[in-house]
Amino acid sequence: MPTPTKGPRLGGGPAHERLMLANLAASLFEHKRITTTVTKAKRLKPYAERLVTFAKRGDLASRRRVLGLISNKGIVHELFTDIAQAVENRDGGYTRITKIGNRKGDNAPMAVIELVLEPVSAKQAVVAEATSAAKRDADKKEAAAAAPVAEEAPETEAAEAPAEEAPAAEEAATEEAPTAEEAAEAPAAEEKDAK
């Protein structure tokens, strides 16, 4: 159960509040919608949604846990079979609260709380499909960006190959032309030969 709100409880004490919420949840699961005060509906919403989450799990431990709160086995069976199958594709928001105005006798604000058993809307399915399509496109762009890098590698090797040939050509040119030292030594050697 979620953290209780501060202030007065729905009943006289905590045990009474737990029993009231369990009875409200049982009525909600039995009739699929109930009319109650706004305060009770707001307190019932997280309680009922947690029970639906247990029903979606569907294991024996979850069933026993729900049976500890709702004593009617028929309602628990309906929760675990019918309601859990109806909301299996929904990730939350199993209940809906609609305010309907004030009660005639004591002017208390009233609301209808109901189970949302409709399948997930087509709009949500379209949004999910668009999200997956965008992810696929992003993956393709990343793959395309990685592919030219691999293709550029042979081009850079080809560009480097002439650069490697260029130093070889420079070495050949330097071997043919005498260096400055060789040029200075050549006249001195000629003079020695002439003497």
Residue 118 has a pLDDT of 87
Residue 163 has a pLDDT of 52
What residue spans define the domains of the chain? Answer: 14-119, 123-194
Residue ranges of alpha helices (H) inside the chain are 14-31, 38-57, 60-69, 73-78, 84-86, 122-176, 180-194
Q: What CATH number does the domain located at 14-119 have? A: 3.90.1030.10
The answer to whether 122 touches 50, Cβ cutoff 8 Å, is: no
Put the strands of the sheet holding 109-115 in their side by side order: 33-37, 109-115, 95-102
Residue 147 has a pLDDT of 73
Residue 46 has a pLDDT of 94
Residue 140 has a pLDDT of 84
The answer to whether 109 touches 34, Cβ cutoff 8 Å, is: no
* Average pLDDT per 10 consecutive residues for the chain, totaling 195 residues: 70 88 96 95 95 95 96 95 92 94 95 91 71 84 74 53 53 54 59 57
For 60-117, write each residue's pLDDT tens digit.
999 999 999 999 999 999 999 999 999 998 888 999 999 999 999 999 999 999 999 8
Residues 6+ positions from 54 with CB-CB distance below 8 Å: 62, 63, 65, 66
d(CA 130, CA 39): 39
Residue 72 has a pLDDT of 94
Per the confidence metrics, is the pTM higher than 0.85?
no
